[in-house]
Amino acid sequence: MRTRLTALFVCALMVLTASALVCQVTDWFRQLDKNGDGVIVPDELNRPHLFAQLDADSDGKVTHEEAQKAAARLPRRAGRGTELPKPDESNVKYGPHERNVLDLWKAKSSKPTPLIVFIHGGGFVGGDKSHIPPTALKRALEEGASVMSINYRFLQHAPIQDILRDGGRAIQFVRANAAKYNIDPKRIACFGSSAGAGTSLWLAVHPDLADPNSDDPVAKQSSRISACACLNGQATYDLLEWQNVIYPFKPEWMRSPTEDLGFYHFKSRADYDTEEGRKILDECSMLRLLSSDDPPIFMSCTLPQGDPKNRNHLLHHPRHVEVVKKKAESVGVKFEGHLAGDKSAIKGDPAVAAVDFLLRHLGENGKQ
C-alpha cells in the first residue's frame, strides 16, 4: 500500500491541475505519514532524489507545507502515470516467509531469455515489488530480457545479514526453475534502488551461497549473477566501516539510540566484539567482499556532494559510489559510475540506464 501511495504522490506532482493537485497532495500526504507526526521521512517516501527535492530546508523531514510548495515548483507533464503490465506469474513463493514472493514478466522468445531482477528499496523496513520502474520494465522486455521483481523480509522479521540472503534465495529459486520459466540460468543480473541497490551489490560480490550437500534442490543452485546496477545505493552494511569510509551518523538522524543494534539483531554493543559479531560485519561489507572475480558494477547517485545535510543524504551519498569505484578499480572489476553535477551524470532515466548496462553484460557469464 505504501508503494502505491508513493506512486500516486509522484503522479500528483506531475500531472494534476493546480487546484486538484493541492487537494490530492494533502490527502496523500496524510496517508504517507503513517505515524501521524505531521512529517514524511525517507523511509515513508522511499524516493531519495524526490525526497531531496521536497525537503526544501534539508532537515531530513518533509512537512505538509514543503509538499504543497513542491506541487507548484516541480515541473508537471500532461498525461497519466505509467502503470505496470500484469505479470505472467504473480506472488510466486521462493522461500518460507510470507514476504518471500516474486512477480515475473516473461519476454516473448522461443529460446531461454536472460533475466533482470529488480529489488525494491525502503530502508529494509518498507517497500514492495510493485515499485519496479515501469520504464525499466518496458526497456528490458523490449530487448528480450525477462524481468523478476521480489519482496523480502524486513528488519522486524530478520537481521540484515539474513535479509540479504533472501535475494540470494530468489536467484537460486529461479535457477532451479529456469526451464519452467524459459530463463537462461547463466544470464541473470540484478538492479535496485536504495536498499535494493545495496542488496544487488551484495549479490554481485558475495561468494556463492550454493550448498551442494543440501537436500533442498533450490539451495543447491548458484546465487551468483552476471552484473549489478545500483541506484542511490550503499557501499557497505558494516555500520562501523560506514562511519570511517562514508560519514558518521549524527545522533539526531538515528531512529533510536540502539538502531544499529537492531540492524543486526544484536542484544548489546558487546556483540560487536564477539567472533560471531565480527563475522556478521564481514558478511555485510560489500567493500571487503569485492574481489577480482566479481561481475561488472554500475552505480548512480542523484544526490549532491558535500557534508551530509540529513539522514536521506547520508544514506544515499555519492561517497558510496566513490569508495566502491576505488575498490573495484583496485581489484580489476569493471565499474561504471554516475554522479550528479559532473560530466558523468545520467541525462535521462537512471533506471533505464541501469537496465541498458545490465543488457550489455548479460552476454557475459558471471561466476556460476
Q: How much is the average pLDDT of 212-218? A: 97
In sequence order, the 6+-apart residues with CB closer than 8 A to the CB of 96 are none
Q: Is the confidence at residue 33, as pLDDT, over 70?
A: no
Query: Both 270 and 327 in a single domain?
Result: yes
Domain hosting residue 261, numbered range:
89-361
Taking Cα atoms as reference points, which of 60, 57, 58, 45 lies closest to residue 13? 45
Who has greater pLDDT, 69 or 239? Answer: 239
Taking Cα atoms as reference points, which of 97, 116, 96 lies closest to residue 106? 116
Q: Is the confidence at residue 15, as pLDDT, over 50?
A: no
Q: How much is the average pLDDT of 262-282? A: 98
Residue 320 belongs to some domain of the structure: yes
Longest dimension (CA), the chain: 63
- Concatenate the DSSP letters of all residues of 317-343 into one string: -THHHHHHHHHHHHHT--EEEEETTST
Determine the pLDDT at residue 56. Answer: 67
Other Cβ atoms closer than 10 A to 356: 17
Report the C-alpha gap between 236 and 238 in whole angstroms: 5
- Cβ atoms of 218 and 173 closer than 8 Å: yes
Query: Both 335 and 222 in a single domain?
Result: yes
Q: How much is the average pLDDT of 127-131? A: 95
Residue 105 belongs to some domain of the structure: yes
Query: Both 217 and 285 in a single domain?
Result: yes
Q: Is the confidence at residue 365, as pLDDT, over 50?
A: no
Who has greater pLDDT, 325 or 61? Answer: 325
Tell me: the pLDDT tens digits for 313-349? 999 999 999 999 999 999 999 999 999 988 888 989 9
Residue 339 belongs to some domain of the structure: yes
Tell me: the pLDDT tens digits for 43-55? 666 566 676 667 7
Determine the pLDDT at residue 366. Answer: 34
- Cβ atoms of 246 and 209 closer than 8 Å: no
Q: Is the confidence at residue 155, as pLDDT, over 70?
A: yes
Query: Both 333 and 250 in a single domain?
Result: yes
Determine the pLDDT at residue 133. Answer: 96
Q: Domain holding 67: CATH number?
A: 1.10.238.10
Q: How much is the average pLDDT of 124-152? A: 96
Tell me: the pLDDT tens digits for 158-190? 999 999 999 999 999 999 999 999 999 999 999
Indicate the residue among 16, 40, 73 that finishes a domain.
Answer: 73
Using pLDDT thresholds of 50, 70 and 90, give the confidence band for residue 13.
Answer: very low
Using pLDDT thresholds of 50, 70 and 90, give the confidence band for residue 277.
Answer: very high
Distance of CA 93 to the CA centre of its chain: 20
**Helix segments in the chain, DSSP class H:** 2-15, 18-32, 42-45, 48-54, 64-73, 134-142, 160-176, 178-181, 195-205, 239-245, 259-264, 275-283, 286-289, 311-315, 319-331, 350-361
Q: Is the confidence at residue 8, as pLDDT, over 60?
A: no
Query: Both 59 and 99 in a single domain?
Result: no
Half-sphere exposure of residue 18, counting CA atoms within 13 Å on the CB side?
A: 3
Q: Is the confidence at residue 19, as pLDDT, over 90?
A: no
Taking Cα atoms as reference points, which of 199, 202, 90 lies closest to residue 149? 90
